């Protein structure tokens, strides 16, 4: 007798990558897309960097750029895209909350992957990351990300985070009202 639960193989996938700038999230996203690709499965990578690059990394646009990325992910979920790979730093639970919330409501299988695996135990020195990013990101930003890093074992940690709930409860973004 079938249990009534959807089999894992038939679920759509949401993969949320997290890690400091320069650790290889974008490379990992491309690897994952290649791993998932098969006939009829296209998948997409969603990175706020795409918008940051359009505006020469001007920080005055960062909030809007993140909002646009969330909008794009929401619309992709409504269209049934799989896998959806979110390639952002995702340092804090509240950064991931909208994606996890959307994924739960759209019945996606949610995976949160740290890059490199095992971070922060598998730590890359900040000076090396700074060089990998060609000095385009201030060292203080790397320190802020490192010092503010929140441990997340699975998507439930994100959904149950009180700060995230308060941060997003009044959001009028498309994903939170539909």
What is the mean predicted confidence (pLDDT) over 27-53? Answer: 90
Name the more confident of 154 and 55: 154
State the average pLDDT for the chain. 88
Name the more confident of 6 and 117: 117
Q: What pLDDT shows up at residue 3? A: 40
Helix 93-105 vs helix 62-78: crossing angle, to nearest 10: 20
CA 77 to CA 141: how far, in whole Å? 31
Phi, then psi, of 160 in degrees rounded to 5 = -90, 0
Tell me the domains of the chain and their CATH numbers.
9-169 (3.40.50.300)
Q: What pLDDT shows up at residue 2? A: 41
Residue 4 predicted with pLDDT over 50: no
Residue 91 predicted with pLDDT over 80: yes
Q: What pLDDT shows up at residue 38? A: 86
Percent of the chain with pLDDT over 90: 60
What is the mean predicted confidence (pLDDT) over 116-142? Answer: 81
Residue 53 predicted with pLDDT over 80: no
SS3 assignment, position 114: strand
Q: What pLDDT shows up at residue 49? A: 86
39-53, 81-95, 148-162: least confidently modelled range? 39-53
Q: Are 111 and 16 in contact (CB under 8 A)?
A: yes
Partners of 86 in beta bridges: 16, 46
46-50, 68-72, 149-153: least confidently modelled range? 46-50
CA-based R_g, the chain, Å: 17
């Amino acid at each position: 007798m079938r249990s009534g639960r959807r089999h894992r193989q038939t679920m759509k996938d949401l993969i949320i990558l997290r890690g400091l700038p320069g650790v290889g999230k974008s490379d990992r996203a491309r690897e994952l897309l290649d791993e998932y690709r098969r006939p009829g499965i296209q998948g997409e990578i969603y990175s706020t960097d795409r918008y940051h690059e359009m505006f020469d990394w001007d920080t005055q646009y960062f909030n809007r750029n993140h909002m646009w990325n969330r909008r794009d992910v929401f619309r992709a979920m409504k269209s049934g895209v799989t896998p959806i790979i979110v390639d952002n730093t995702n340092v804090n639970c509240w950064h991931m909350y909208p994606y996890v919330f959307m994924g739960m409501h759209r019945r996606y299988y949610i995976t949160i992957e740290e890059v490199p695996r095992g971070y922060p135990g598998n730590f890359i020195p900040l000076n090396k990351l700074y060089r990998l990013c060609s000095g385009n990101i201030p060292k203080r930003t790397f320190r802020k990300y490192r010092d503010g890093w929140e441990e997340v074992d699975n998507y439930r940690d994100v959904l149950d985070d009180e700060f995230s709930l308060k941060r997003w409860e009044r959001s009028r973004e498309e994903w939170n009202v539909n």
